A and B are shown apart, each in its own frame.
Chain A
């Protein structure tokens, strides 16, 4: 029980819970980037980086909500892909359709989140399976619907969120809308985690039995986290669609990038620990690392390998630091306390 205090001494309170470590890592990567490309911090390149990183930041926030409640969401990558394809097909270049379709996308995201959440909490399917299922369902459905090649086109009004922003700002040049949106969502998520809902979510991830005994509706709290994640994926889809356009590969593997980002931020898998800021910093770090790879002319195909190494190293680091959670502590499935306990079987 003394181990964790050493980790605590190293960082001031504000940087607790892995935020400190990931900040140091981010600064290090930025320094290396700067040595390779001294002009990186001159406004426009930095804004370009922000624009590129924004979708991952948004996804990481969504993934954070689910992970902190003690679950996983593997469906976000497929959902991003599905949303972009839906948008292209329904808008089909028609400006007037932009906002109706965005509304429809949000509804679809809500629906996917509800399904993920309710199947996990009420049907008691482990979330890793539930969302793996949703991921495959969406992936297959989109392929089937488009016949393998997405059709249609996004409107200019749709693409503005991922591409443009107010121009002519001194020093920075253009502030991308993507950055504004990601920043607003970050602030929103920080506030959410301070609200009664956020506190109940954290409590659920820490000990769902104790939370239930205290009056938390565990199933509802977790379901809403999944809804949050799916809505974030929808926002990310709008940004990515605008930024990168429509291809059949949009969104592929993004769920793992998002989980890598969150884990790198020191948000502990299993729930109950970590902050929104840490997850956002994790996303920026992953994106910075990919930028560095580009500068070093490493092929982008190496990125999954890097992610795999990061995710293992990050979790090993947290564990080695002495995760003080007693190993015998029961990590139970979401368990509405109304169920009869099975331990003593008087019949």
Chain B
């Protein structure tokens, strides 16, 4: 690509609550170019996109459009300037028609009255331009498929005469044949000279579509390179490239009775989002579930816990077949689930530390014995919970790390045989992370089977004895603990498949 760029971002920096998430990132986008933005979860891709979309304001740096500096205080300003963003969650009104959504907030009026006809006509033209006559402008968005809704988002962007469209994981919710439609639309957009900023985890798409690839890591720009000169393995290495730090405590000497026994086994489990899940966790073992967001990690946890039930397959706990139809049954079978979203799924924010810690004991009768309840203060102090108001303190006043300790205490109180930890260190400080790691080691040594889910690869690799890698709701493969991040990412992104395809 030669000539002046359509969009130039230079030195973009952004901090949230004193934490820098973007460190002076530069990015050029030319007309008709597809520029892929890649990196691990938390690398800063979404933040950069949101800065461009006017959702966040950059602390430092400048954005130029056609050589003139612009500043987007609000998403509407960005849209008017010709920069549109298609987010993962669509901003569509389900009960309105396609045309009404496309022209939302700037409806065509005839003599002061909204003119649906005119809007439908204009929408139909835009759709026809993309070669998509199949979507009726007057149908309600609720009736459209996910792929069609995405098309509506893109049409909405085009109706603003967008010259830059950024897309956040546009294929995440699409089936294979729908992805092809998206490819065609992207080709049309590029013919029209639209510059596309494309965020995706899927390496295959990136190599199919991109002209240029920018790699972000921990908020820093790692490299910008031409896709044609880049090999998948090299890209993966740039995405993860950092040494596994030695912050993870070593395994302890096992002393539990059930060490080595198979405590959790799943065979052929599946539901609408999972298929053919086979999994075995032994007492004393920490098994990591690796995979990209949406690959089915949390879905497995929810399936085991009876939240999103498995519709096929078998689950055995300690050799007994269980039917996890509800969290209550899962708890009775000896399972515990530390949920990914602490505040909305894990805690009663207005209640005391103690009320939270004894919730499972209260809710599931056979556990409600005084003996277990009396152990709670001991559990809380062994976790080194810091609450200024003591155990009567309401949980919402605690820090994230201490809140997580309350959640852990709640589950430890039930003496679980199998513990599922979904992103147990998300949003907590370093000290609390260490406490969680040590606790996991102690539990494992005592014979608990642990299933760990984490988006942080170093953590997952550093803590797990074995890794089960998921891709698109299926088990993509199993790796020993201590495998390199490259191998895990290659399995999780399907890059190894891509290389095989590219080889001949």
Q: Is the CB of B309 within 8 A of A215?
A: no
B272 at the interface (CB under 8 A from A): yes
Q: Is the CB of A337 within 8 A of B344?
A: no
Q: How far is A341 from B364 in the complex, measured between Cα atoms in Å? A: 24
Q: How far is A346 from B326 in the complex, measured between Cα atoms in Å? A: 23
Q: In the complex, which residues of chain A have a beta carbon less than 8 angstroms from the beta carbon of B309?
A: 338
Q: Is the CB of B359 within 8 A of A207?
A: no
Q: Which of B76-84, B97-105, B349-357, B428-436 contacts A (4 or more CB under 8 A)?
A: B349-357
- The contact string, 1 if C-beta is below 8 Å from chain A, for chain B 388-401, is 00001000110000
A320 at the interface (CB under 8 A from B): no
**Residue of A whose beta carbon sits closest to that of B307:** A337
Q: How far is A216 from B359 in the complex, measured between Cα atoms in Å? A: 8
Q: In the complex, which residues of chain B have a beta carbon less than 8 angstroms from the beta carbon of A212?
A: 307, 327
CB within 8 Å of B: which of A112-164? Answer: none
Q: How far is A210 from B339 in the complex, measured between Cα atoms in Å? A: 9
- Residue of B331, B347, B349 touching A215 (CB-CB under 8 A): B331
Minimum distance in angstroms from A7 CB to a CB of chain B? 13
Q: Is the CB of A341 within 8 A of B331?
A: no
Known contacts A213-B305, A214-B410, A215-B331: A199-B362 contact under CB 8 Å: yes
A223 at the interface (CB under 8 A from B): no
CB within 8 Å of B: which of A306-343? Answer: 324-326, 329-330, 336-338, 340-341
- Residue of A330, A346, A347 touching B344 (CB-CB under 8 A): A330
B233 at the interface (CB under 8 A from A): no
Q: Interface size (B, Cβ < 8 Å)?
A: 43
Q: How far is A206 from B350 in the complex, measured between Cα atoms in Å? A: 7
Minimum distance in angstroms from B306 CB to a CB of chain A? 7
Q: How far is A210 from B309 in the complex, measured between Cα atoms in Å? A: 17
**Residue of B whose beta carbon sits closest to that of A343:** B89
A89 at the interface (CB under 8 A from B): no
Q: How far is A62 from B410 in the complex, measured between Cα atoms in Å? A: 30
Q: Is the CB of A344 within 8 A of B325?
A: no
CB within 8 Å of A: which of B341-371? Answer: 343-351, 355, 358-365, 368
Known contacts A207-B348, A213-B327, A325-B350: A344-B359 contact under CB 8 Å: no
Minimum distance in angstroms from B312 CB to a CB of chain A? 15
Q: In the complex, which residues of chain B have a beta carbon less than 8 angstroms from the beta carbon of A213?
A: 305, 307, 327, 337, 339, 345-346
Q: How far is A196 from B363 in the complex, measured between Cα atoms in Å? A: 6
Q: Is the CB of B308 within 8 A of A214?
A: no
Known contacts A344-B294, A346-B173, A347-B175: A215-B363 contact under CB 8 Å: yes
- Residue of A1, A199, A344 touching B397 (CB-CB under 8 A): A1
- The contact string, 1 if C-beta is below 8 Å from chain A, for chain B 125-154, is 000000000000000000001100000000
Q: In the complex, which residues of chain A have a beta carbon less than 8 angstroms from the beta carbon of B184?
A: none
**Residue of B whose beta carbon sits closest to that of A212:** B327
Q: Is the CB of B349 within 8 A of A203?
A: no
Q: How far is A337 from B358 in the complex, measured between Cα atoms in Å? A: 20
A109 at the interface (CB under 8 A from B): no
Minimum distance in angstroms from A113 CB to a CB of chain B? 21
Q: Is the CB of B347 within 8 A of A337?
A: no
A305 at the interface (CB under 8 A from B): no
**Residue of A whose beta carbon sits closest to that of B330:** A215
- The contact string, 1 if C-beta is below 8 Å from chain A, for chain B 276-306, is 0000000000000000001000000000011
Q: How far is A344 from B273 in the complex, measured between Cα atoms in Å? A: 10
B328 at the interface (CB under 8 A from A): yes
Most buried by B among A199, A330, A340: A199
Q: In the complex, which residues of chain A have a beta carbon less than 8 angstroms from the beta carbon of B173?
A: 344-346
A200 at the interface (CB under 8 A from B): yes
Minimum distance in angstroms from A273 CB to a CB of chain B? 6
Q: In the complex, which residues of chain A have a beta carbon less than 8 angstroms from the beta carbon of B397?
A: 1
Minimum distance in angstroms from A67 CB to a CB of chain B? 14
Tally A-B pairs: CB < 8 A. 111
Most buried by A among B294, B330, B363: B363
Q: Is the CB of B327 within 8 A of A207?
A: no
Q: In the complex, which residues of chain A have a beta carbon less than 8 angstroms from the beta carbon of B273?
A: 346
- The contact string, 1 if C-beta is below 8 Å from chain A, for chain B 319-331, is 0000001111011
**Residue of A whose beta carbon sits closest to that of B358:** A199
Q: In the complex, which residues of chain A have a beta carbon less than 8 angstroms from the beta carbon of B347?
A: 207, 210
CB within 8 Å of B: which of A37-66? Answer: none
Q: How far is A213 from B360 in the complex, measured between Cα atoms in Å? A: 9
A250 at the interface (CB under 8 A from B): no
Q: How far is A214 from B364 in the complex, measured between Cα atoms in Å? A: 8
Q: How far is A1 from B394 in the complex, measured between Cα atoms in Å? A: 12
Q: How far is A202 from B362 in the complex, measured between Cα atoms in Å? A: 11
Minimum distance in angstroms from B342 CB to a CB of chain A? 9
**Residue of A whose beta carbon sits closest to that of B355:** A199
Minimum distance in angstroms from B415 CB to a CB of chain A? 14
Q: In the complex, which residues of chain A have a beta carbon less than 8 angstroms from the beta carbon of B351?
A: 202-203, 206, 272
Q: In the complex, which residues of chain B have a beta carbon less than 8 angstroms from the beta carbon of A202?
A: 348, 351, 355
Q: How far is A203 from B273 in the complex, measured between Cα atoms in Å? A: 30
Known contacts A202-B351, A203-B355, A214-B410: A347-B327 contact under CB 8 Å: no
Q: How far is A325 from B347 in the complex, measured between Cα atoms in Å? A: 13
- Residue of B272, B294, B307, B364 touching A338 (CB-CB under 8 A): B307
Known contacts A215-B360, A346-B273: A209-B344 contact under CB 8 Å: yes
Q: How far is A215 from B368 in the complex, measured between Cα atoms in Å? A: 12
- Residue of A215, A272, A341, A344 touching B327 (CB-CB under 8 A): A215
Q: How far is A206 from B359 in the complex, measured between Cα atoms in Å? A: 12
- The contact string, 1 if C-beta is below 8 Å from chain B, for chain A 158-180, is 00000000000000000000000
Known contacts A196-B362, A200-B362, A346-B273: A329-B349 contact under CB 8 Å: yes
Q: In the complex, which residues of chain A have a beta carbon less than 8 angstroms from the beta carbon of B359?
A: 199-200, 203, 210-211, 214, 216
Q: How far is A71 from B166 in the complex, measured between Cα atoms in Å? A: 43
Q: How far is A217 from B365 in the complex, measured between Cα atoms in Å? A: 11
Q: How far is A198 from B58 in the complex, measured between Cα atoms in Å? A: 49
Known contacts A200-B362, A203-B359: A338-B331 contact under CB 8 Å: no
Q: In the complex, which residues of chain A have a beta carbon less than 8 angstroms from the beta carbon of B410?
A: 214
Q: Is the CB of B368 within 8 A of A196?
A: yes
Q: In the complex, which residues of chain A have a beta carbon less than 8 angstroms from the beta carbon of B349?
A: 206-207, 325-326, 329
Most buried by A among B337, B349, B359, B397: B359
Q: In the complex, which residues of chain A have a beta carbon less than 8 angstroms from the beta carbon of B355?
A: 199, 202-203
Minimum distance in angstroms from A149 CB to a CB of chain B? 48
Q: How far is A329 from B349 in the complex, measured between Cα atoms in Å? A: 10
Q: In the complex, which residues of chain A have a beta carbon less than 8 angstroms from the beta carbon of B308?
A: 340-341
Q: Is the CB of A215 within 8 A of B364?
A: yes
Minimum distance in angstroms from B500 CB to a CB of chain A? 26
Known contacts A196-B368, A337-B327, A344-B173: A210-B348 contact under CB 8 Å: yes
Q: In the complex, which residues of chain A have a beta carbon less than 8 angstroms from the beta carbon of B339?
A: 213
Q: Which 8 A-B pairs have the closest CB atoms?
A: A196-B362, A206-B348, A216-B363, A199-B362, A215-B328, A215-B364, A215-B363, A215-B331
Q: Would you give 18 A-B contacts (Cβ < 8 Å), ordered by A?
A: A196-B368, A202-B351, A203-B359, A206-B349, A206-B350, A207-B347, A210-B346, A211-B348, A213-B327, A213-B337, A213-B339, A215-B360, A336-B326, A337-B306, A338-B325, A338-B326, A344-B173, A346-B173
- Measured CB to CB, the residues of A under 8 A from B are 1, 13, 196, 199-200, 202-203, 206-207, 209-217, 272-273, 324-326, 329-330, 336-338, 340-341, 344-347
Known: A199-B355, A347-B146. 10 other contacts (CB 8 A): A1-B397, A199-B362, A203-B363, A207-B344, A213-B337, A214-B331, A217-B326, A340-B308, A346-B272, A346-B273
- Measured CB to CB, the residues of B under 8 A from A are 145-146, 173, 175, 272-273, 294, 305-309, 325-328, 330-331, 337, 339, 343-351, 355, 358-365, 368, 392, 396-397, 410
